[in-house]
Amino acid sequence: MNLRYAIVGSGAIGGYYGGRLANSGCDVHFLFNTEYEHVTQNGLRVDSVKGDFVINPINAYHSTANMPKCDVVLVGLKTTQNHLLPQILPPLLKPDTLVVLIQNGLGLEAKLASALPHQPIAGAAAFICSSRVGKGHICHADYGAITIGMYNGDCQDVIAQMKVDFEQANVPFSIATDLNETRWRKLVWNIPYNGLTVALNTSTDRLMNTPATRALVTDLMNEVVDAAAVCNAVIEREFVEKMLTMTDRMTPYSPSMKLDFDNHRPMEIEAIYSNPVKTALAAGYHMRKTEMLEQELRFIASKQ
Amino acid sequence: MNLRYAIVGSGAIGGYYGGRLANSGCDVHFLFNTEYEHVTQNGLRVDSVKGDFVINPINAYHSTANMPKCDVVLVGLKTTQNHLLPQILPPLLKPDTLVVLIQNGLGLEAKLASALPHQPIAGAAAFICSSRVGKGHICHADYGAITIGMYNGDCQDVIAQMKVDFEQANVPFSIATDLNETRWRKLVWNIPYNGLTVALNTSTDRLMNTPATRALVTDLMNEVVDAAAVCNAVIEREFVEKMLTMTDRMTPYSPSMKLDFDNHRPMEIEAIYSNPVKTALAAGYHMRKTEMLEQELRFIASKQ
C-alpha cells in the first residue's frame, strides 16, 4: 500500500516529519502559508542531527483547494489555529482519510471530531527538539521519535503502513494503545518547561541548575502524574525522574512556547494548560501549580 | 511618661514613623547607614499625603554605639538584615527596652527572641504605601496606620504611651491582642502583591485589571487565610474581598519587594514566603501557589 500524505502546517514539526518522508521517497504534499513562495523556489531545507537534506523540488501548495485527496493528513499547525481545521481539511479528505494531530496538549481530537464526526482521527506526540529557524528552513537538534494513537475510527492497515514509511524515513515510530495516556505523558514534560521558560524568561538548563526551579519542575511533573491518574491514564512515578534525567542530558533548549513567545506568536495556553487543568478538575483533582502557571501565562499573553 | 525612641533602619518605614514622631515633638534618635552624611546636612525629608515636613536638625547616628539607651526601639530594617540585630541593638537596650519589629513576614520575633531571650519584643504591621525616593527623602503616598502586638514581655504602660505619641503624630495606632493573627492578616496582602509584581514585572493595578491574575491574587489570598486557620489565626473569609477592594482603590503601587528588586536589593523571600510556607506545612497545610511563587522568586533572586 502506497500512502499519499498531506502535511498541514509545514513548520518545525510538520516540515520535519513530512520532509523525512519525502526524502525517503514517499508521496508527500505540503501546505505552506507565508513560506509558499520561498519553498517553491528554494525547497524545504532540514538541518538535522541525523543528516541534513533539502526537498527541492517540493509538492508545495498555498491552499488545500489545490491539493490532491490524501490517505493521511499530518497536522503540524499550532493548536491556536485548530479552529481553522474544519475549513482547511475537507479538500484533502476521502471518507477513510486518517487525520493525525501531531500537536501538544489535551482535548484537540475531541474538538476536531465534533466538527468532522465521521472522519478517522488520531493523535501523535512528537518527542523532538526541532525549530523553524528561517523561511523553509528547519533545524532538528535532538531526538525525533513519534508516537501515534487512534482517537476514533479503525485504521490498523494505514497505521501499519505509516510505521513502515516512518521507519524507512529514519523516524522511530510507536503505536500507542491509549492516546489519552500518550497525551498525559507528553504533558509531564510540556507543562513545566514550556510555561516556566516563558514565565521566568529562561532556558531548560537554567531551570534545572537552580535548586528552587528544579524543585518546581518536579512538583509540576508530579502534579501532571496525579492529574493523569484521576483521568484514567496511569503513569508510573519513575517517569518523572526519567524526564528530569532526559532534560539534564538535553542540549539547552527553548521549548516551542518560548519560541512562540520570543517571536510574538500566540502561545498554546489553552491546549497545554487550560484543557488539562479543566479535565483534571472535572475528575476531582486540582492542579494548583499548573493552574498558577496558566494564570501567569495568560497575564503575559495579555501584554504580548 | 516621656518615651525615648530609637529608629533602627530609617528608610521608607522607620524614617516615616520616626519622622512623624520627631515632627510632633517626641525624643527620637535615628540610625542611618549610607545616608548619614546627607541627613546631618540636609535633614530627613518626608513628602506625605498627610502634609510634608523636614526633620532638620535631626538626631542622626552612624552607629548604635554612639546612641543613648532608649525606651522603645523601632526596627525598620529589611528582614534580610535581621541577622545583624544581635550586634546592632545592645547599645540601645535597657532591661525593659521594648524592641518593635515593624517588618513584614513571619517568624521574625521568634528568631530575635532566641538571640535576646530576656528582652521585651513586639511586632508591628504597617499598612502604608511609603518608599524611599532619594537620600534622606521619603515619599508617603497612601494609608499609614500601624498595628502593634506583644511577642513576649509585659509593656502595657509603654504601649499605652506609644499610642498617645503616635496618635499625636497623626498616625492611626492599634493594639493587637494576637500578634500571630496580625502577621497573617498582613500576609494576605503581602504574599500575592509583593511576589507577583516581581515575577510578572508589573504593578498592582495591572494584576487587578487582568482577569487571570486577579483570580491568582484571590487564590493566593485564600491560601493565606487557609494557612492562617491551621496556624491558630482566624481570619474571616470576607477579609479577602476587603483586601481586593482596598487594592482596587489604591494608587497603582510597587510593593516593597518590587522596589527592592528594581533597585537590586535582596528580596525578603525568607520572611514573606519561606517562613509562612514552612509554618503552615508543619501545621498540616500545603500552600501550593505560595510555594510556587517562592520557588519562582528564588530563581529570579539567583539571577540578580
Residue partners of A97: CB distance under 8 A and separation at least 6: A69, A70, A71, A72, A73, A119, A120
Other CB atoms within 10 A of residue B100 CB: 28
Other CB atoms within 10 A of residue A104 CB: 24
- What percentage of chain B has pLDDT greater than the value 70? 100
Q: Can you tell me the distance from the alpha carbon of A173 to that of A159, in angstroms, rounded to the nearest whole number?
A: 10
Asked whether the beta carbons of residue A299 and residue B202 sit closer than 8 angstroms, the reply is yes
Length of chain B (residues): 304
Query: What is the DSSP secondary-structure string of A263-287?
Result: TTPPP-HIIIIIHHHHHHHHTT---
What average pLDDT does the structure give for chain A?
A: 97
Sign of CA dihedral B63, B64, B65, B70: positive
Q: Can you tell me the distance from the alpha carbon of A191 to that of A272, in angstroms, rounded to the nearest whole number?
A: 7
Which CA distances in Å does B212 have to A299, B34, B57, B151, B202? Answer: 6, 41, 50, 38, 14
User: Which value, to the nearest 10 degrees, does the dihedral of the CA atoms of residues B13, B17, B23, B29 take?
Assistant: -80
Given a cut of 90, whether residue B252 has pLDDT beyond it is: no
A281 shares contact with chain B (CB less than 8 Å): no
| Least CB–CB distance from A292: residue in B202, B211, B289 | B289
CB of B293 closer than 8 Å to CB of A296: no
| Least CB–CB distance from B295: residue in A215, A291, A294 | A215
- The pLDDT value recorded for residue A254 is 85
Taking the model in full, what pTM does it have? 0.94
Given a cut of 90, whether residue B188 has pLDDT beyond it is: yes
Provide the 8-state DSSP code for B32. Answer: -
Q: With contacts defined as CB-CB under 8 Å, which chain A residues touch B202?
A: 299
Give per-residue pLDDT as tens, A220-277.
999 999 999 999 999 999 999 999 999 999 888 789 999 999 999 999 999 999 999 9
| Least CB–CB distance from B299: residue in A212, A298, A302 | A212
Q: Can you tell me the distance from the alpha carbon of A7 to that of A67, in angstroms, rounded to the nearest whole number?
A: 10
Give per-residue pLDDT as tens, B256-265.
999 999 999 9
Q: Quick one: B112 exposed, middle or buried, by C-beta within 10 A (0-12, 13-18, 19+)?
A: buried
Asked whether the beta carbons of residue A216 and residue B292 sit closer than 8 angstroms, the reply is yes
Query: What is the DSSP secondary-structure string of B246-263?
Result: HHHHSPP---HHHHHHHT
List B78, B94, B163, B186, catalytic entry:
B186
Task: Report ipTM for this prediction.
Answer: 0.92
List of chain A residues with pLDDT < 50: none
| Contact residues, B window 285-304, toward A, CB-based 8 Å cutoff | 288-289, 291-296, 298-300, 302
Residue partners of A16: CB distance under 8 A and separation at least 6: A46, A48, A128, A130, A138, A140, A144
CB of A195 closer than 8 Å to CB of A207: no
Sketch out chain B's domains with CATH numbers.
4-177 (3.40.50.720), 181-303 (1.10.1040.10)
Task: Provide the pLDDT confidence category of residue B1 given band limits of 50, 70 and 90.
Answer: confident
- The pLDDT value recorded for residue A1 is 83
Report phi then psi at A169, rounded to 5. Answer: -90, 10
- The pLDDT value recorded for residue A270 is 98
List A50, A94, A163, A186, catalytic entry:
A186
- The pLDDT value recorded for residue A214 is 98
**Annotation says B186 is catalytic:** yes
Which helix (H) or strand (E) segment holds residue B71: the answer is strand B70-75
Which residue do the cell numbers 546631618 mark?
A: B40
**What residue of B is the nearest CA neighbor of A295?**
B212
Q: With contacts defined as CB-CB under 8 Å, which chain B residues touch A299?
A: 200, 202, 207, 210, 212-213, 216
| Least CB–CB distance from B212: residue in A200, A212, A298 | A298
Q: Quick one: B42 exposed, middle or buried, by C-beta within 10 A (0-12, 13-18, 19+)?
A: middle
Task: Tell me the shortest Cα–Cα distance from B173 to chain A, in angstroms.
Answer: 37
Query: What is the DSSP secondary-structure string of A165-206?
Result: HHHHTT--EEE-S-HHHHHHHHHHHHHHHHHHHHHTT--HHH
